[in-house]
Amino acid sequence: MSTETLTTALEILETRPMNSAWPDWLRQASAQASVPQDWWHWGPPLSLQDPEMGTIQNDFSRLTHRCRNSKKDPLFLATENIPRRVAIDRTAGFGGDAVFLASLGFEVHAWERHPSVFVFLKETEQWAHRQGFRLTAHRGEAPDQNLRAELVLLDPMFEETGSAKPSKKMQWLRSQAAPWSQKEWDDYLNLARRQAKSRVVLKAPPSTDLPGALPTSQIEGQSFSWQILKPF
The span from the CA of 148 to the CA of 150, in Å, is: 7
Pairing relationship of beta strands 217-220 and 225-229 according to DSSP bridges = antiparallel
pLDDT digits (tens, 9 = 90+) for 50-85: 888 889 999 999 999 999 999 989 999 999 999 999
Query: What per-residue confidence (pLDDT) applies to 36?
Result: 63
Taking the whole predicted model, whether its pTM rises above 0.85 is answered as no
Q: Give helix 115-130 / helix 3-15 axis angle, nearest 10°.
A: 10
* In the chain, domain spans: 3-44, 60-229
* Chain centre to alpha carbon of residue 64: 16
pLDDT at 58: 93
Fold of 60-229: Rossmann fold (3.40.50)
Whether residue 35 is predicted with pLDDT greater than 80 in this model: the reply is no
pLDDT in tens, 98-117: 999 999 999 999 998 887 78
